[in-house]
């Protein structure tokens, strides 16, 4: 029997950020969006999630005091008890 692959929403809880970026950065995102055929929002979302592969950042977040909420927000599981 074939298992169905249901369509999942792309962006759960998507919000418009309130930050400013340079024109140069906007041009990079726009060009990469055109190249990759992703929307600009998808490009930014995918790129920023790559920050979670920075071992020093993950280590910092894991060692931060009262970090359970932060780790949950970042999607990082605590691997060992302190």
Counting residues of the chain whose pLDDT is more than 90, the rounded percentage is 46
Query: What is d(CA 52, CA 65) in angstroms, rounded to the nearest whole number?
Result: 19
Separation in Å, CA 15 to CA 12, 24, 45, 53: 9, 23, 11, 23
Per DSSP, the three-state class of 10 is: coil
pLDDT at site 82: 44
Q: How far apart are the first and last CA of the chain?
A: 47
pLDDT digits (tens, 9 = 90+) for 1-40: 677 777 777 766 788 889 999 999 999 999 999 999 999 9
pTM above 0.85, yes or no: no
pLDDT per residue as tens digits for the range 31-57 = 999 999 999 999 999 999 999 999 999
Q: How far apart are CA 56 and CA 51, in angstroms?
A: 10
How far, in Å, CA of 64 to CA of 58, rounded?
A: 10
Looking at residue 77, its pLDDT comes to 72
Helix axes 40-49, 23-36, angle to 10 degrees: 100
């Amino acid at each position: 029997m074939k298992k169905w692959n249901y369509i999942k929403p792309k962006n759960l809880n998507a919000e418009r950020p309130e930050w400013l970026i340079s024109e140069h950065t906007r041009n990079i995102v726009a060009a990469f969006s055109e190249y990759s055929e992703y929307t600009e929002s998808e490009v930014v979302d995918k790129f920023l999630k790559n920050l979670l592969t920075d071992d020093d950042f993950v280590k910092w977040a894991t060692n931060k005091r009262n970090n359970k909420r932060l780790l949950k927000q970042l999607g990082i599981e605590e691997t060992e008890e302190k």
